[in-house]
Structure 1
Amino acid sequence: MRFLTLLIFLLFTLNPLHGEILSMENITTHIQKGIQTRITGQNRPIIQEIYAQTGNKPLWIGNKNRIKTSHLIQALNDPLFNYKNKSFDQRSIKHLFYQLDNGEISQVKQASAYAKLDLVLTSSFVRLVRFIVQGDVDWNLVQKKLNTLEQSDDITARWEMEPKAFPDLNGLISAIENDTIYEYLTFLLPMEKRYRKLVKLLNDYRVMDKFPKIKYSNETLKLGDSSSRVEEIKRRLQITGDYPKNAPIDSKFDETLKRAVMTYQKRYLIKVTGMVDRTTTYYLNLPAKSNIQAIITNLDKTKLYPKQFEDEHIEVNIPDFNLRYYKDQKKVMKKGIVVGRIDRPTPLFSNAISYMVLNPTWTIPDNLIKRDLIPVLRDNPMYLEENNMHVFQGNKEINITQEMLDPYEKSEKPVPYRIVQFPGETNALGRVKFMFPNKYAVYLHDTDNKSLLSRRYKIYSSGCMRVEKPFDLVDMLLEHTWKNYSQNKIDEILASNEPTTIYLKKQIPVHILYFTVYEENGLAYFKNDIYLYDKIIEESVEGNKKSTFTIPEKRMISVKKNAQPLSN
Structure 2
Amino acid sequence: MMMRQLLALLIGLLVLLPVYAGTASAMVSAETIRRQLAQDTDDTGNQSAQVRLKHFYAQRDYQPAWIISNQYQPILDTALSFIARADEEGLDISNYSSAHLQQLHASPEGETGLALELGVTRSLLALAQDLYSGQLSATAADPDWHIPQQKFDSVTFLQQALTQNNLQQAFADLAPSMPQYNALRRLLMKLRQLAAAGTHWTQIPEIASAIRPNSTHPAIPLIRQRILEAHAAYTKAEYALTTAESEWYDHELEAAIKTFQQQHGLNPDGIIGRHTRRALNTPLEKQIQKLRINMERLRWLPRNFGDRYVLVNIAGFYLTAIEHHTPVLDMRIVVGRDYRSTPSFNSRVSHLVLNPYWNIPNSIARQDLWPKQKKNPDYFASQGIRVFSSYRYEFELDPDGIDWHAVERRFPYALQQAPGNLNALGNIKFMFPNPFSIYLHDTPSKSLFQKDIRTYSSGCIRLEKPFQLAEFLLGRSLEDANITQQVDSGKTRTVHLPKRVPIYLVYITAWSDEQGDVRFSSDIYGRDKRALAHARWPEPAQLSQSY
TM-score range, shorter chain: 0.7 to 0.9
2:277 equivalent to 1:267: no
* Equivalent in the alignment of 2:36: 34
* Mapping for residues 131-530 of structure 1, pairs under 5 Å: 131-139=130-138, 141-142=140-141, 158-167=144-153, 169-190=155-176, 192-208=178-194, 209-214=199-204, 218=208, 230-241=220-231, 242=236, 247-252=241-246, 253-276=249-272, 280-393=276-389, 394=392, 396-401=394-399, 403=402, 409-411=408-410, 415=412, 417-479=413-475, 486=479, 489-520=482-513, 521-530=515-524
Give 1:184 deviation, angstroms: 2.6
* Equivalent in the alignment of 1:91: 99
Mapped to 2, the partners of 1:82 and 1:280 lie a distance apart of: 27
Comparing 261-270 with 115-124, which one deviates more in the overlay?
Answer: 261-270
Q: 2:528 aligns with which of 531, 534, 540?
A: 534
Give 1:518 deviation, angstroms: 1.4
Mapped to 2, the partners of 1:438 and 1:400 lie a distance apart of: 33
Return closer, same or farther for 1:447/1:174 CA change in 2, 3 Å cut-off: same
Contact 1:231/1:249 (CA < 8 Å) preserved in 2?
no
Comparing 523-532 with 508-517, which one deviates more in the overlay?
Answer: 523-532
Return closer, same or farther for 1:119/1:407 CA change in 2, 3 Å cut-off: farther
SS at match of 2:421: coil
Mapped to 1, the partners of 2:209 and 2:407 lie a distance apart of: 54
2:66 equivalent to 1:76: no
| TM-score where L is the length of structure 2 | 0.83
Mapped to 2, the partners of 1:538 and 1:17 lie a distance apart of: 39
Return closer, same or farther for 1:138/1:168 CA change in 2, 3 Å cut-off: closer
Mapped to 1, the partners of 2:478 and 2:275 lie a distance apart of: 49
Give 1:135 deviation, angstroms: 3.8
Give 1:292 deviation, angstroms: 1.0
Mapped to 1, the partners of 2:239 and 2:459 lie a distance apart of: 44
Q: 1:47 aligns with which of 46, 50, 53?
A: 53
Runs of at least 5 residues in structure 1 that lack an aligned partner in the other structure? 1-10, 106-111, 147-157, 546-551, 557-568
Return closer, same or farther for 1:285/1:438 CA change in 2, 3 Å cut-off: closer
Contact 2:388/2:396 (CA < 8 Å) preserved in 1?
yes
Q: Please give the per-residue CA displacement for 1:534-559, whole angstroms capped at 9, x wherever unaligned.
A: 111111114689xxxxxx9x998xxx
Return closer, same or farther for 1:308/1:254 CA change in 2, 3 Å cut-off: farther
Mapped to 1, the partners of 2:75 and 2:81 lie a distance apart of: 10
Contact 2:204/2:277 (CA < 8 Å) preserved in 1?
yes
Contact 2:24/2:112 (CA < 8 Å) preserved in 1?
no
Q: How many residues align?
A: 506
Mapped to 2, the partners of 1:386 and 1:221 lie a distance apart of: 41
Comparing 290-299 with 49-58, which one deviates more in the overlay?
Answer: 290-299
Give 1:392 deviation, angstroms: 4.1
Mapped to 1, the partners of 2:361 and 2:208 lie a distance apart of: 47
Contact 1:238/1:244 (CA < 8 Å) preserved in 2?
no
One-letter amino acid matched to 2:38: Q
Return closer, same or farther for 1:12/1:372 CA change in 2, 3 Å cut-off: farther
Comparing 394-403 with 508-517, which one deviates more in the overlay?
Answer: 394-403
2:60 equivalent to 1:59: no
Return closer, same or farther for 1:133/1:542 CA change in 2, 3 Å cut-off: farther
Comparing 536-545 with 297-306, which one deviates more in the overlay?
Answer: 536-545
Comparing 285-294 with 352-361, which one deviates more in the overlay?
Answer: 285-294
SS at match of 2:30: helix
* Equivalent in the alignment of 1:108: none
Q: Please give the per-residue CA displacement for 1:37-81, whole angstroms capped at 9, x wherever unaligned.
A: 343522111111111111211100148863321111111122444
Return closer, same or farther for 1:16/1:254 CA change in 2, 3 Å cut-off: same
One-letter amino acid matched to 1:131: D
Give 1:225 deviation, angstroms: 6.1
CA RMSD of aligned residues (A): 3.3
One-letter amino acid matched to 1:513: V
Mapped to 1, the partners of 2:19 and 2:503 lie a distance apart of: 52
| TM-score where L is the length of structure 1 | 0.80
Mapped to 2, the partners of 1:344 and 1:220 lie a distance apart of: 30
One-letter amino acid matched to 1:410: R
Give 1:214 deviation, angstroms: 4.5
Give 1:331 deviation, angstroms: 0.8
Runs of at least 5 residues in structure 2 that lack an aligned partner in the other structure? 1-17
Contact 1:12/1:62 (CA < 8 Å) preserved in 2?
no
Q: Please give the per-residue CA displacement for 1:437-464, whole angstroms capped at 9, x wherever unaligned.
A: 3222110010122122222211111111
* Equivalent in the alignment of 2:125: 126
Q: Please give the per-residue CA displacement for 1:56-113, whole angstroms capped at 9, x wherever unaligned.
A: 111001488633211111111224445433352222222222223xxx34xxxxxx53
One-letter amino acid matched to 1:240: A
Contact 2:141/2:530 (CA < 8 Å) preserved in 1?
yes
